[in-house]
């Protein structure tokens, strides 16, 4: 099955955790950001991505392996994305986890807009 067909299949048959997150991310409900779900990026299909914010939210369930996730995250980082990983088995109250993820997204966006000093060609402080 091609990646587009596979991602379409994943969108039509979400896990309960994916459905829960999609309800909170869709239609710009999270900080006004547009998220896509089950989106192909390179050789991977990511759970949720905001292209405008360059943020990927990955749900880690039983099928995720840290070694493979590290390779995947490195590739996605090379493409300019920041990856947030969340366990799909929700141990803490779900709304608490959502608030933590939103806080992390706000932090990542603030890092993008923090002023970066422009180095002077004459040396530091000149």
The domain 3-113 belongs to what CATH superfamily?
Answer: VSR Endonuclease (3.40.960.10)
Instruction: Judge whether residue 125 has pLDDT over 60.
Output: no
- Could you tell me the residue ranges of all domains in the chain? 3-113
Q: What pTM was computed for the model?
A: 0.82
Residue 65 has a pLDDT of: 83
Residue 121 has a pLDDT of: 47
Find how far residue 49's CA is from the centre of its chain.
5
């Amino acid at each position: 099955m091609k990646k587009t067909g596979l991602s379409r299949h994943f969108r039509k048959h979400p896990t309960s955790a994916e459905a829960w997150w999609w309800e909170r991310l869709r239609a710009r409900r999270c900080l006004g950001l547009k998220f896509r779900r089950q989106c192909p990026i390179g050789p991977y299909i990511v759970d949720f991505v905001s292209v405008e914010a360059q943020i990927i939210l990955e749900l880690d369930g039983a099928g995720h392996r840290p070694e493979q996730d590290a390779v995947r995250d490195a590739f996605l980082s090379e493409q300019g994305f920041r990856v947030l990983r969340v366990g799909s088995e929700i141990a803490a109250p779900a709304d608490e986890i959502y608030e933590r993820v939103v806080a992390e997204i706000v932090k990542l966006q603030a890092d993008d807009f923090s002023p970066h000093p422009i180095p002077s060609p004459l040396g530091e402080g000149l």
